[in-house]
Amino acid sequence: MKILVAVKRVIDYNVQIRVKEDGTGVHTDNVKMSTNPPDDNAIEEAVKLKESGKVKEIVAVTVGEEKAQETVRKALAVGADRGIHVKADSYIEPLGIAKILKKVVEKEKPDMVFLGKQAIDDDCNQTGQMLAAILNWPQGTFTSKINLKEKTVEIVREIDEGLETLEINLPAVITCDLRLNEPRFASLPNIMKAKKKPIDQMIAKDLGIDIKNRIQQLKVEEPPKRKSGIKVSSVAELVSKLKNEAKVI
């Protein structure tokens, strides 16, 4: 059984985001980048399945500029067997990414595709669902538990009402939640070994698909600064301010 894991290079979640002065986006020059956190969960789960003997091969794939290859190298250091880097010089919307991944799926023929539930930069939460739709595969989203069987996979997913258990046929697309597992750190020996693992390269514009962006970003702004709070001396004063000033009661 083979698993294809899609990973994305994003601004590290510990970095304080700074908006460009002209409002065209955020600063990324000399900013620490890392793997999208839910994608780390996807990699970890694939490696755990391989360690259990249920999976034979893990292929990590990313779409992006030359430096995005670092994200694939990290996946290889954690336990992926091969990597694929689809080079793209500019931002591609989730639909375009889904179309690119479809081409990779047709080439690799995996039994499952793992993705993070959403990316922390654009926060779209769309790529996995779109990929499943254009592949016409079953999908399991927001997955917090996976039980792989012979021809099906049982998943537990988080919904508004609690937890939902589904059993879906393979091949399938699964998006992974942060509560699925605890991603491991890559050891130094494995990081060195990852440098020798193969990474195939593809060019996004040469795949013969329409990846033109449909959404135009007009402006990026910082959220308004919050006003400082005040202390009240009694419950009565608190209730009075909530009623007469904030008008929330």
pLDDT (tens, 9 = 90+) of the chain, 249 residues, equals: 999 999 999 999 888 888 888 888 888 888 899 999 999 999 999 999 999 999 999 999 999 999 999 999 999 999 999 999 999 988 899 999 999 999 999 999 999 999 999 999 888 999 999 999 999 999 999 999 999 988 899 999 988 888 999 999 999 999 999 999 999 988 899 999 898 899 999 999 899 999 999 888 888 888 888 888 888 899 999 999 899 988 888
pLDDT, residue 35, reads: 94
pLDDT, residue 218, reads: 87
DSSP string, 44-77: HHHHHHHHTTS-SEEEEEEEESGGGHHHHHHHHH
| Residue 210 maps to a domain | yes
| Residue 6 maps to a domain | yes
Helix, strand, or coil here: 23?
A: coil
As a whole number of angstroms, the distance between CA 125 and CA 130 comes to: 10
- Domain range for residue 142? 2-224
Looking at the DSSP assignment, which residues form a beta bridge with residue 87? 64, 203
Q: CA-based angle 46:52:54, to the nearest 5?
A: 70
| Residue 42 maps to a domain | yes
Helix, strand, or coil here: 181?
A: coil
CATH number of residue 211's parent domain? 3.40.50.620
| Residue 91 maps to a domain | yes
Q: Return the residue matching tokens 């699925």.
A: 180
| Residue 247 maps to a domain | no
Kindly report the backbone phi and psi dihedral angles of residue 15, in degrees, each rounded to the nearest multiple of 5, phi listed first: -80, 135
CA dist 220 to 10, 24, 92, 179, Å? 17, 6, 17, 31
pLDDT, residue 225, reads: 84
**pTM of the predicted protein model:** 0.84
| Residue 249 maps to a domain | no
pLDDT, residue 247, reads: 86
As a whole number of angstroms, the distance between CA 70 and CA 87 comes to: 13
| Residue 125 maps to a domain | yes
Q: How many domains is the chain partitioned into structurally?
A: 1
pLDDT, residue 160, reads: 87
Task: Report the b/e string of 78-103 with b at 16+ CB within 10 A.
Answer: bbbbbbbbbbbeeebbbbbbbbbbbe
* CB burial of residue 44 (10 Å; 0-12, 13-18, 19+): buried
Q: What is the number of other CB atoms lying within 10 angstroms of the CB of residue 205?
A: 10
pLDDT, residue 91, reads: 87
pLDDT, residue 18, reads: 87
Cα dihedral 133/139/142/145 (nearest 10): -160
| Residue 241 maps to a domain | no
pLDDT, residue 221, reads: 86
